[in-house]
Chain A
Amino acid sequence: MATLTVDHLEKTFPAIERGSVPTTAIDDLTFTVEGHVFVSVVGPSGCGKSTLLNILSGIETSSSGSATVSEGTRPARLGYVFQDPRLLPWRTVMQNMLYVIDESGAQARTRAERYLEMVGLDGAGDKFPAQLSGGMQQRVGIARAFAVEPDLLLMDEPFSHLDAITARSLREQLQDIWTQTRKTVLFVTHDVAEAVQLSDRIIVLAPGGKLYADVEVDLPRPRKVSDTDVATMQAELLGRFETMQAETAAAKTASIAN
């Protein structure tokens, strides 16, 4: 069980060309995540959601403030699911799974098999990624991240590149596998409805990377899109989301006018 502490985190990208201003991706962000919860970070494009994940996983560094993930006293193990599957094309599915597992030998294989089964790909171990469809490849990506048995699982809009039908089916599978394994998940998306369907808690970021809202989602699982409660919450949140966007737009026009 991991503790994620984000403390006054800031990330600014310097101006690319002369004349343009530096971009603030994350602006004084503070929140804490504890326990086996599914947390979504929602926001429109350009609000620093992916940057947050990159900082957490060490791919990028922050400008100031801190973001730490700890498991008790030791640094936590991280799993990562990207928008695109990012499988090594020259290795089989099983070899791709083993690539990220630190154990070796039969134990590692059994572990990999178990997670492949959870996403319904238990026979695909010997296939190469090119032999799988996009949706299947993404499922392998998810299985791979879970197979690490991470303390914190980072997911960066994993379904945004898939067609609606595949995305829907993968969302259900994700719910399944999460219910079985109960990992701490930080799930980034621009899709409010998706966040409501999957998470225990939703953190809304405004453009510019400021924290806008922090909402608890206390609905029973498994959640179906057809559930009235789910639909209501989605509509409510969507409304707040649109308000935020309107507020941002107004603020921008005001600043331009000045």
Chain B
Amino acid sequence: MSIAVERTRTAGSSGGGAADVLRRFVRSDRFARAASYVFLLLLWWLASVYEDRFPAPLETFQFLWVEVTGGSHGGVVRGEFLEHFASTLPRFGLGIAISMVLGIAVGVVIGGSKWAEALFKDTLLVLLALPAIIWAFLTQMWFGLGDDAVVITTFLSAFPFVAVNVVQGIQAIPRELRRMSRAFHVPRYKRLRHMQVPAVTGYIFAGFRFAVIVGWNAVLLSEWFSSSEGVGWRSRYWYDANRYRGFLAWVILFIGFIVLLDRLVLVRLQRRAFRWRDAQASAIEREAEEIDIGVKGA
């Protein structure tokens, strides 16, 4: 029984053209990905067959189409999509903005001072552990219905993620760099601008990404309980009416938005923010390759 080093097979197997192409396609990664979506769709459909209140894929997408483009579901008002997203997005944006500002501020303080860390880091961890539903409930009890509750819930859910990441970022600045700037008596503002801020930027960005994902989920939850319009409210509307395909259609819109946001905007930003780190990494990789080839040749 051995994992033998295989005798290298002669490249390129001979054989019929079409059958070979097909076989290679089936074995490819692209086919695997496509297969996974088909599989999920199949599971979804099976669930709807098993339980007939469970919305089926086809009807859900039909419903979605109507909600987006207009038309009626037997008497319901048309074209809800833009209207509700227009309500939700400002609340979301405001909540995230506040969480970033306060999150960075608090993170810098806690990360920079040992006693602040000892006193308040555990508080941050507790806040991190509180589920968004709690905030949704609490804000509803505190602020009643309306925008405030939603913005605050978003802020409260996202804030700990930002703060914790910033703390990590500040603490990750290698001690040598800090010592070096002290040894050279680099003035404080320069230290801030050239050492602390760039080092932390990556972590701030990671925190931002978390904030967006967590915040978006929080918005949904909060609007469910505290709003009279918006994506979350609309989802609940269909849920209350027991039209689960409506609920699912809006969830799909909801997830679709965040996935698009993530792929198109956030990933690009992240690549820019981490340019210095990735550039350094690839230089190291190149060096390692050279050493590797040198050894193999010996």
Contact = CB atoms under 8 A, between A and B. Distances in A.
Direct contact of A and B (CB under 8 A): yes
Given A16-B296, A45-B298, A46-B298, A59 B2 contact: yes
Interface residues of A, number: 10
A60 B298 contact: no
B5 interface: yes
Contacts of B14: none
User: Counting chain A CB atoms within 10 Å of each CB, which of B5, B8, B298 scores highest?
Assistant: B5
B4 A60 contact: yes
B4 A61 contact: yes
Nearest to A62: B7
A58 B4 contact: yes
The contact size tier of chain B is under 10
Nearest to B1: A58
Main secondary structure of the interface of A (DSSP, over half): loop
B298 A61 contact: no
A14 interface: yes
Interface string B1-43: 0111101100000000000000000000000000000000000
Contacts, number: 17
B197 to A, nearest CB: 41
A54 B3 CA distance: 11
A60 B296 CA distance: 18
B206 to A, nearest CB: 32
Interface in A39-68: 45-46, 54, 58-61, 63
12 contacts: A16-B296, A45-B298, A54-B5, A58-B2, A58-B4, A59-B2, A59-B3, A59-B4, A61-B4, A61-B5, A61-B7, A63-B7
Interface of A: 14, 16, 45-46, 54, 58-61, 63
Q: Which 9 A-B pairs have the closest CB atoms?
A: A58-B2, A60-B5, A14-B8, A61-B4, A59-B2, A61-B7, A60-B4, A59-B4, A16-B296
